[in-house]
């Protein structure tokens, strides 16, 4: 899974990227790169516990890619997205909008004032407009070629939806229509997480900029944090961080809050595999069938799928070992269509 950070210049995107990923990308500048990319390991206490039991050679956490995209060209800083950004964003699974809610006179906002809800609205409009441009071009092509087919009708529906002021996210689509549109990578269709970047003075206040209320209306989830403080804490030696967070009232680590929100937003869960060579977590979407979950591991396992031996993590822990769990009848045999649950420990039987 991959999330792309977007937002106005100097909203704190790189600061938050560094705080969440523990990277050292240069704040306020970018050099010649198009993007900073980091891979987050998704913390999972279940894996730690399984590793104690299996003592495997390798423990592999689920991974989540986080991309900090270069700011717009300095001449067009009132736009949140540059052309280079757009190319990178087409293939992300989710967008993270860093919204500036901190005041800092030395660092002006490109629009001249701090107004988080305005920024959310304008960014949403920017995404919609970018999609509209793509749709209109395509429709024109189809008209020229005299192909007013089902695809044409579908794109026309998208166009009307955007013209009514809505994002494609809220357009009801049948599964085959979703597939038909997937190749376009429409930006206003991507799940969006709002990351409110507050100043120190807002720590401990509830929804100081009204972002949660705005987000409830648009169904975009919100995470509030204080980027500058998060970065300070992230730079401390690990053993000092928790005490500092407590003292400052910063709450749960930003990385964990971000990942939880992102998993929730994208409807993600993890299933686990455990053995002596490796204990590992795999990320899938809620509602994934066993045979497709197998495909996450290897296409051979998917193709040759026979059955899945499944035990819920909690059942395994209470039994204490796989041997005991089997004796107690806690390990189930499931077929291809079984819907995998979060925390299922699975052994796939397959034949190639």
By beta-carbon proximity to Mg ion, the closer residue of 195 and 345 is 195
13 binds Mg ion (CB under 5 A): yes
How many angstroms separate the Cα of 60 from the Cα of each of 63, 187, 229, 283?
9, 31, 30, 12
Whether the Cβ atoms of residue 309 and residue 349 lie closer than 8 Å to each other: yes
Whether the Cβ atoms of residue 10 and residue 100 lie closer than 8 Å to each other: yes
12 binds ligand GDP (CB under 6 A): yes
Which of ligand GDP, Mg ion, none does residue 212 bind (CB under 5 to 8 Å by kind)?
A: none
Which of ligand GDP, Mg ion, none does residue 21 bind (CB under 5 to 8 Å by kind)?
A: none
By beta-carbon proximity to ligand GDP, the closer residue of 167 and 197 is 197
Contacts of 345 (CB under 8 A, 6+ apart): 50, 271, 272, 273, 274, 310, 311, 312, 313, 316
- The H or E element containing residue 302 is helix 299-303
258 binds ligand GDP (CB under 6 A): no
72 binds ligand GDP (CB under 6 A): no
Number of Cα atoms under 13 Å in the Cβ half of residue 5: 32
* The pairing of beta strand 94-101 with beta strand 192-198: parallel
109 binds Mg ion (CB under 5 A): no
226 binds ligand GDP (CB under 6 A): yes
Which of Mg ion, ligand GDP, none does residue 12 bind (CB under 5 to 8 Å by kind)?
A: ligand GDP
By beta-carbon proximity to Mg ion, the closer residue of 197 and 302 is 197
Which of ligand GDP, Mg ion, none does residue 228 bind (CB under 5 to 8 Å by kind)?
A: ligand GDP
Instruction: Work out which of 3, 4, 15, 331 binds ligand GDP, going by CB under 6 A.
Output: 15
By beta-carbon proximity to ligand GDP, the closer residue of 35 and 130 is 35
Alpha carbon 222 to chain centroid distance?
A: 12
Count of residues that bind Mg ion according to CB under 5 A = 2
3-state helix, strand, coil in the chain (%, to 5): 45, 20, 35
Which of ligand GDP, Mg ion, none does residue 288 bind (CB under 5 to 8 Å by kind)?
A: none
Query: Residue 343 region, left (φ>0) first, then alpha (ψ -120 to 50), else beta?
Result: left
56 binds ligand GDP (CB under 6 A): no
97 binds ligand GDP (CB under 6 A): no
Whether the Cβ atoms of residue 270 and residue 283 lie closer than 8 Å to each other: yes
Say whether 207 sits in a helix, a strand or coil.
coil
Instruction: Work out which of 39, 57, 63, 107 binds ligand GDP, going by CB under 6 A.
Output: 107
14 binds Mg ion (CB under 5 A): yes
Nearest residue to Mg ion on Cβ basis:
14
235 binds ligand GDP (CB under 6 A): no
By beta-carbon proximity to ligand GDP, the closer residue of 40 and 132 is 40
> What is the DSSP secondary-structure string of 130-180?
HHHHHHHHHHHHHHHTT--SHHHHHHHHHHHHHHTT--GGGS---HHHHHH
Q: Could you tell me which stretch among 5-13, 38-46, 52-60, 248-256 binds ligand GDP (CB under 6 A)?
A: 5-13
18 binds Mg ion (CB under 5 A): no
- The H or E element containing residue 106 is none
**Closest CB 14 distance from Mg ion, rounded Å:** 3
Interacting residues with ligand GDP (CB under 6 A):
7, 9-15, 27-28, 71, 102, 104, 107, 197, 199, 226-228
Instruction: Note the residues at the interface with Mg ion (CB under 5 A).
Output: 13-14
């Amino acid at each position: 899974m991959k999330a792309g950070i977007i937002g106005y210049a100097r909203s704190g995107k790189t600061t938050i990227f560094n705080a969440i990923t523990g990277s050292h990308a240069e704040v306020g500048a970018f050099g010649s790169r198009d993007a900073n990319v980091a891979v987050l390991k998704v913390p999972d206490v279940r894996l730690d516990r399984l590793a104690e039991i299996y003592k495997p050679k390798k423990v592999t956490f689920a991974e989540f890619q986080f991309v900090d995209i270069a700011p717009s060209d300095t001449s067009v800083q009132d736009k949140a997205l540059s052309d280079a950004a757009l190319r990178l964003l087409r293939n992300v699974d989710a967008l993270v909008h860093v919204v500036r809610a901190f005041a800092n006179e030395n660092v002006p906002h490109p629009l001249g004032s701090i107004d988080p809800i305005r920024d959310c609205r304008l960014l949403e409009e920017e995404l919609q407009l970018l999609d509209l441009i793509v749709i209109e071009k395509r429709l024109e092509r189809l008209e020229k070629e005299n192909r007013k087919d089902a695809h044409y009708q579908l794109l026309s529906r998208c166009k009307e939806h955007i013209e009514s002021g809505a994002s494609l996210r809220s357009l009801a689509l049948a599964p085959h229509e979703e597939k038909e549109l997937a190749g376009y990578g429409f930006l206003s269709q991507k799940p969006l997480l709002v990351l409110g970047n507050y100043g120190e003075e807002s720590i401990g206040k509830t929804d100081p900029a009204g972002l949660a209320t705005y987000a409830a209306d648009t169904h975009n989830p919100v995470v509030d944090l204080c980027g500058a403080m998060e970065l300070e804490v992230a730079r401390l030696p690990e053993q000092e961080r928790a005490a500092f967070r407590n003292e400052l009232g910063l709450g749960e680590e930003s990385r964990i809050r971000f990942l939880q929100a992102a998993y929730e937003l994208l409807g993600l869960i993890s299933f686990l595999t455990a053995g002596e060579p490796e204990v590992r977590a795999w990320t899938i979407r809620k509602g994934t069938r066993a045979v497709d979950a197998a495909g996450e591991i290897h296409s051979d396992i998917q193709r040759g799928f026979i059955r899945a031996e499944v035990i819920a993590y909690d059942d395994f822990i209470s039994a204490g070992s796989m041997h005991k769990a089997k004796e107690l009848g806690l390990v189930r045999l499931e077929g291809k269509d079984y819907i995998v649950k979060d925390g299922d420990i699975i052994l796939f039987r397959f034949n190639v």
